[in-house]
Amino acid sequence: MGYDAMPIRAITFDFWGTLYDDVGDMSERRERLRYRHALTFFQMLGADIDPARLKQVMDEAPNHAMHLWRHECRTMGKRELGEYVAEQMGYRLEANSAEALGEAMAMAGAQVPPALRVGASGVLDRFHGRYRLAVICDTGLTLGCALREVMKSDQVIDYFDHLTFSDETCTTKPMPRQFLYTCHSLGVPPEHTIHVGDLEETDIVGAREAGLRCVRVMNGQTDGKTAADATINLLEELVDVIEDWEDGA
């Protein structure tokens, strides 16, 4: 049975580069705030730390997170993030303290939030109630706890039936289980689900391997090399793609 014969029952969305973007110096501001939260945490503990060394550790943390993402297909949760920074500073924290430090740093992502893409609310409103909707997001240092707050603030969280954040599932895209877990949580088989994302090596490769149809958001790229079933440049174009597929089903 081909794709055209499969009715669409669910749509999953990537977060970064699909629904949300960093604009201007958001990333740098977030890193500075993350450092200040960590510094305050150690000061409240009465720890005698070198602020310059902490700055160095915080500057290196994104590279460590990227290494885990690319080479181990996972991201740090709150506790591991707190433990990583503390250990780099020569301290070993109890589990609750490590988690508190990790959450404090992660919440910089809610205090300096990424920007919801133009048209995203309209697309989600169009699909809400018609399809089961979910987010599948690889988190880095801005964890799911912060991204939930961002989505609440932008009044889009209620459009979604499920949110999958890699710091909470202990795995990342392109691992098929990240997609299969989300489909299971939605109660919809992969063959009736579409994934929308911008990264070929994670969103498209993973979705295809898990048996989902997929749409790649090109973001102005013109290489034309994709295994996606369709490509779009603007999120609003997804409406026409879905309607065309529905008409062919």
pLDDT at 222 over 80: no
Q: Are 58 and 34 in contact (CB under 8 A)?
A: yes
Instruction: Give the per-residue pLDDT at 248.
Output: 74
Which token pair is 89? 């500073």
Residues 6+ apart with CB under 8 A from 182: 12, 134, 136, 162, 164
- Inter-CA distances, 75 with 111, 140, 150, 165, 171, Å: 21, 6, 19, 9, 7
Query: Within 10 Å of residue 86's Cβ, how many Cβ atoms?
Result: 23
Residues 6+ apart with CB under 8 A from 73: 171, 172, 174, 175
- Residue of 8, 19, 30 whose CA lies nearest to 163: 19
- Residue of 181, 123, 178 whose CA lies nearest to 156: 123
For residues 61-67, average pLDDT: 97
On the 0-12 / 13-18 / 19+ scale of CB atoms within 10 A, 211 is middle
Q: Tell me how far apart the alpha carbons of residues 108 and 35 are, in angstroms, rounded to a whole number.
A: 9
Which token pair is 35? 């450092």
- Give 25-53 pLDDT, tens digit per residue: 999 999 999 999 999 999 999 999 999 99
Q: Are 135 and 15 in contact (CB under 8 A)?
A: yes
- Residue of 64, 71, 90, 70 whose CA lies nearest to 80: 64
Instruction: Give the per-residue pLDDT at 231.
Output: 96
Q: Percentage of residues in the chain with pLDDT exceeding 90?
A: 93
Instruction: Give the per-residue pLDDT at 224.
Output: 67
- Give 139-176 pLDDT, tens digit per residue: 999 999 999 999 999 999 999 999 999 999 999 999 99
Q: How confident is the model at residue 179 (pLDDT cuts 50, 70, 90)?
A: very high
Q: Are 26 and 34 in contact (CB under 8 A)?
A: no
Q: What is the DSSP letter of 128?
A: B
Which token pair is 11? 């749509």
Beta-ladder partners of 136: 164
- Inter-CA distances, 193 with 117, 156, 203, 243, Å: 22, 20, 13, 14
